[in-house]
Amino acid sequence: MLQTNEIKLDKPATPFNAKEQIQKMITDNELVIFMKGNALLPQCGFSAQVVEIFKRLNADFQTFDILSDDIIRSEVKTFSNWPTLPQVYHRQKFLGGCDIVTEMYQNGELDKLFA
């Protein structure tokens, strides 16, 4: 069965706890993709591309749908000083957006990380 591996918040984030919520998601999970939609139904081409790459690598990832929470959507851009989505975090470190992940996939750097 296909798994969506989607992180859901018990309650919507607030401006006061959004940063903490993001920190918790990337601490509790080794590989997190903040994206539009989920792994089964990505809502944007860039998000779909990033999911596809990690599926091909057989990486164990979790996703968070930023369309489900406007506050997280806005806060995650400040969190990483990165204005676009999707965003990928690995072991609490910001790995990059679609272009960087694609480049790292093509040049073999991701293979090393997820071998």
Partner 1 sequence: MATPNEVQAKLLAGIPQSDVQVEDLTGQQNHYSVQVKSSAFSGKSLIEQHQMIYAALGEAMKEEIHALSIQTSLP
Q: Applying CB under 8 A, which residues contact partner 1?
A: 46, 81-84, 94, 96-100, 103-104
Output the smallest distance, CB 87 to partner 1, in A: 11
Shortest distance (Å) from residue 66 CB to partner 1: 14
- Count other C-beta atoms under 10 Å from residue 16's C-beta: 8
The Cα–Cα gap between 87 and 77 comes to: 9
Q: Is the CB of 65 or the CB of 97 nearer to partner 1?
A: 97
Q: What is the rounded CA–CA span in Å between residue 17 and residue 75?
A: 10
Residue 97 to residue 76: CA distance in whole angstroms: 12
How far apart CA 42 and CA 86 sit, in angstroms, is: 10
At 74, give phi and psi (nearest 5°): -75, -40
Q: Which is nearer to partner 1, 4 or 84 (CB)?
A: 84
How far apart are CB 80 and partner 1 at their closest, in Å?
9
Instruction: Output 11 or 93, the one with its CB closest to partner 1.
Output: 93
User: Shortest approach of partner 1 to residue 41 CB, angstroms?
Assistant: 19
